Chains A and B, each alone.
Chain A
Amino acid sequence: MCPNPTDSQWFSAMLNLIHWRGVMIRKRFIWCARWCLFLTVSLISVALSASIMLLSLSKDLPDRSEQLADLVRQNTTMSQQLSEMQLSVDQRLQAQTQQLEHQAQISLRLSRLQRLSLIDAFRVIAVTDSKNSTVVRLQVGDMAQLTSQALENPFDVRLIQPGEYAVITELVFSDG
């Protein structure tokens, strides 16, 4: 059954309802504003507590940024110095290695000359010692002295010049 708008009782009831609705809206608005204020205060409290805690923690850690920057600078300089020193050591070690190789080469060249010592009697007139071979000009009593050593000490005979009291010969020693 529908209400009749011309009914005064119904009209009075509707007016009361509109008034009640306005009151409820205002109360709700005030309630919301209070909650906003409460949230703001709460958040400020939390932020303040966190700030105090962070300040306190920060205070426990002294500011050492300058010391750190200085240390980083020192370490950078020291690293550069160490690189130069390492390079210097490498050069020196390389020189030592070269010396050992060089000593081995000289030793090899000297060993060519040492082969002469197996000949019984001889006199050395000249020596030309180059990288690959050694040419020795020497005097021997006779060539038979050389042939007796030929198998153990291979060499090339480049010159035979017989003389009255000695034979002059040139021998070529090589590493092969």
Chain B
Amino acid sequence: MVNVQQWVARHTNVVLITWFVAVAAVLGGFVVKPLFDRYVARLIDQRQLIEQTTRHQRLHQRQLALSQAIEAIDAASHPLDLMALVTHLSDIGEVLDVQVTSDQWVVNVAMSDQSDVGAIYDLLSRISGLAVDTLTLQTMDGEQQLRLLLEPSDAVWLHTVDTPLPELAWDDRLGELSTCPTLRLRAQLGEQFQVVMNDSDRLSIATGDWLNADWRFLGYRDQQFILKNGLGRTCVKPSS
């Protein structure tokens, strides 16, 4: 005990400083620090709450903007499958058959001479994700047969387009020229001729009249009818 008292008396400063540091460390570590950590955690939470609330508002606004964008785009376009395409083609002509392979759609469409070939191009131009490999148009006996070879991708969309394609300028010139008609004269009154065309149709014609879409009557000389077609070629046929 005397030795301890002697040692303390000799190292009083060291003892006091050590005691101060030790007590401060114990109190700081076990009492003040946990409370301080809790307070700092609350502060961090508050800060994060403000940040997250701001972020939430920003995300909400972004969500609204994207929803509106999707609505606007969807109003102008929608997915298109083969059946929907066939329905659209049915408005233009009669869909004869459809063949589907792994990478191609083949559609055959019968069109009347009233059908608009330009409408096919217009329809195809409004579709995305569907490459047109070949479009074959064959005219025969006043009818047109259209064969479409299409290459669909994963997503095919039909779009509403503000500027449609220009119309085909020669849509009325489809189909082969008909053969020179056979005419039989029934009566002639001045420049007026009563004729039977192709042994069936009775017509009253004058010079310059069109007999049908292709042939025009130019005159009657020496018991022969002189006709001219729309391409500028002349046909001379005797009255049958």
- A residues apposed to B, CB below 8 Å: 22, 24-26, 28-29, 31-32, 35-36, 39-40, 43-44, 46-47, 50-51, 54-55, 57-58, 61, 63-65, 67-68, 71-72, 74-75, 78-79, 81-82, 85-86, 88-89, 91-93, 95-96, 98-99, 102-103, 105-107, 109-110, 113-114, 116-117, 120-131, 139-142, 164-166
User: Which residue of A has the minimal Cβ distance to B130?
Assistant: A102
Contact A58 B42 (CB under 8 A): yes
Cα A26 to Cα B9 with chains together (Å): 8
Contact A110 B168 (CB under 8 A): yes
Interface pairs (8), CB distance under 8 Å: A39-B23, A44-B23, A55-B35, A61-B45, A71-B52, A96-B76, A109-B121, A141-B231
Given contacts A91-B155, A102-B127, contact A126 B56 (CB under 8 A): no
Contact B12 A28 (CB under 8 A): yes
Does B85 make an interface contact (CB < 8 A)?
A: no
Contact A93 B73 (CB under 8 A): yes
Cα A120 to Cα B39 with chains together (Å): 92
- Residue of A51, A106, A140 touching B124 (CB-CB under 8 A): A106
Rounded to whole Å, the gap between the CB of A40 and the closest CB of chain B is: 5
One digit per residue, 1 when the CB lies within 8 angstroms of any chain A CB and 0 when it does not, for chain B 102-144 equals 0000000000000001100100111111111111111100000
Does B188 make an interface contact (CB < 8 A)?
A: no
Does B190 make an interface contact (CB < 8 A)?
A: no
Contact A47 B230 (CB under 8 A): no
Q: Which residues of B223-240 have CB atoms within 8 Å of chain A's CB atoms?
A: 229-233, 235
Cα A140 to Cα B232 with chains together (Å): 9
Number of B interface residues at 8 Å Cβ cutoff, please give it.
84
Rounded to whole Å, the gap between the CB of B123 and the closest CB of chain A is: 10
- Chain B residue contacts of A71, Cβ below 8 A: 49, 52-53, 56
- Chain A residue contacts of B175, Cβ below 8 A: 123-125
- Residue of A24, A98, A109 touching B128 (CB-CB under 8 A): A98
Cα A40 to Cα B25 with chains together (Å): 11
User: Which residue of A has the minimal Cβ distance to B36?
Assistant: A54
Contact B35 A58 (CB under 8 A): yes
Contact B59 A99 (CB under 8 A): no
Chain A interface mostly helix, strand, loop or mixed? helix
Contact A121 B230 (CB under 8 A): yes
Given contacts A92-B70, A126-B137, contact A54 B35 (CB under 8 A): yes
- Chain B residue contacts of A128, Cβ below 8 A: 134-137
Given contacts A43-B20, A50-B32, A126-B136, contact A139 B177 (CB under 8 A): yes
Contact A106 B165 (CB under 8 A): yes
Does B89 make an interface contact (CB < 8 A)?
A: no
Given contacts A28-B12, A110-B166, contact A47 B28 (CB under 8 A): yes
Contact A141 B233 (CB under 8 A): yes
- Chain B residue contacts of A98, Cβ below 8 A: 128-129
One digit per residue, 1 when the CB lies within 8 angstroms of any chain A CB and 0 when it does not, for chain B 197-240 equals 00000000000000000000000000000000111110100000
Cα A22 to Cα B66 with chains together (Å): 90
- Chain B residue contacts of A44, Cβ below 8 A: 23, 27
Contact B127 A165 (CB under 8 A): no
Cα A98 to Cα B159 with chains together (Å): 11
Cα A89 to Cα B23 with chains together (Å): 65
- Chain A residue contacts of B43, Cβ below 8 A: 61
Given contacts A43-B20, A110-B165, contact A78 B12 (CB under 8 A): no
- Residue of A65, A82, A130 touching B59 (CB-CB under 8 A): A82
Across the A-B interface, the 3 shortest Cβ-Cβ residue pairs:
A141-B231, A99-B128, A117-B169
Given contacts A54-B36, A96-B77, A102-B128, contact A68 B231 (CB under 8 A): no
User: Which residue of B has the minimal Cβ distance to A36?
Assistant: B19
Contact B73 A47 (CB under 8 A): no
Cα A76 to Cα B153 with chains together (Å): 33
Contact A127 B59 (CB under 8 A): no
- Chain B residue contacts of A117, Cβ below 8 A: 169-170
